[in-house]
Amino acid sequence: MLKITIHDSADELRFRLEGRLSGAWVGELRQCWQTAASITHGRRTLLDLREVDFVDPEGQSLMADMYRKGVRLVAVTPLIQSLVEEISHTPGCGTVEEKPARRADALAFPDTSGHSPRTL
């Protein structure tokens, strides 16, 4: 099961996920994201994965698609951090930035510079 909560503010659209990103839930998240993407009007979009405990290959593919389209990925558990790092080191994707924050969140930012990915 996956719970998707959308937090919509003036400067940010955040998808907060809780549970397992797998099976039919991947399609549900894709539909939510595509619908919301049409109204973001330049605001940053974040995929908050702090409460996700499993991602299947289809979910990983969606995360990579979202990342390539400019969505920032927020991860905290070692499993999800490793998936985010793998996605961000895919050629043409971007970088991972470790930031000292609550629960040592790892943030992945799409690379719009055209340079090779690197870890900060």
pTM: 0.75
For the segment 89-117, what is each residue's pLDDT rounded down to a tens digit?
765 444 444 443 444 455 555 544 443 33
Six-digit token pair at 89? Answer: 């080191």
Domain borders along the chain are 2-110
Give the residue among 55, 10, 64, 11 at the shortest CA–CA distance from 33.
Answer: 64
CA–CA separation, 106 vs 13, rounded Å?
18
For the segment 37-79, what is each residue's pLDDT rounded down to a tens digit?
888 878 899 999 999 999 999 999 999 999 999 999 999 888 8
CB < 8 Å & 24+ apart, contacts of 30-39: 30/62, 32/4, 32/6, 33/66, 33/71, 36/6, 36/8, 37/69
CATH superfamily of 2-110: STAS domain (3.30.750.24)
